[in-house]
A = this chain, B = another copy of it.
Amino acid sequence: MVGTGKFGSHALMRDSLVASGAEIVTVALRRVDLARAGEGDVLDFVPAGVTLLPNTSGAVTAEEAHRLARLGRAATGSPLVKLEVTPDPRTLAPDPVETLRAAELLIADGFTVLPYCPADPVLARRLEEAGCATVMPLGSWIGSNRGLRTRDALEVIIEAAGVPVVVDAGLGVPSDAAEAMEIGASAVLVNTAIAVASNPVTMARAFALATVAGRLGYLAGRGAVSAPTRAKASSPLTGFLGAQPGTVAL
């Protein structure tokens, strides 16, 4: 999944979306009418074939989120919505109480809800029980590029979840996306890290590869991590420079 904010131009955004290989693209509903002069609407630049996921970015109460979600549904005809309720202007961290309340409102109104949420195992469970299609806990503050600062909580959420877990927000480099997938996330959502890179298209491609790499790493079953005071050689240490070096057949 990728976002659509902060790109230098709509064309650059489009090329980055293509390079990312993302299957889902999220768009802030309140941005749709903010066409850049001479560029046209942001939606005209979303590649064909991807799923459009309207989000409620900017909402600070459940009611505001609901209103935005309904606008999105009216326009797209789809019940999908990424729920964001973020009253804190410093961090744009999601409000756990309003997010749950908004999820209940939206689900009762027929939406398929993908909520951006704190990396909080209890809230994640509650959102799932309320009927959310996914949970989308944050790795670190939106736009911070700080990576997986909530890893302990993400591991618990992933272990317990009965719905897909999408790590959303804060991923700053491709290795962050790989790490999220390695601990079992179902997907990641990236926006700022791509949009503010010197070369967004290349960065989008890098995230695409890292996401697949992390998923394969998860599926491959990583080996154990040693304590700092124990090491094991890759090559057996017996027989070193043994009695018959002449037998080295190289």
Contacts and interface: CB of A to CB of B under 8 A. Distances in A.
Interface string A189-228: 0011101111110110111111011111101111111101
Copies in the complex: 4
A174 interface: yes
Report the interface size class on chain A.
Answer: 35 or more
Interface string A33-45: 1100000010100
Contacts of A215: 206
Contacts of A224: 145, 196
A173 interface: yes
A128 interface: no
A9 interface: no
Given A219-B199, A223-B197, A192 B234 contact: yes
Interface in A59-118: 59, 64, 67-68, 71-72, 74-76, 86-97, 100, 118
A244 B71 CA distance: 12
Contacts of A174: 178, 182, 210, 213-214, 216-217
Given A97-B126, A179-B173, A214-B210, A156 B228 contact: yes
Contacts of A228: 140-141, 144, 146, 149, 151-152, 155-156
The 3 closest A-B pairs by CB, nearest first: A198-B221, A75-B250, A5-B234
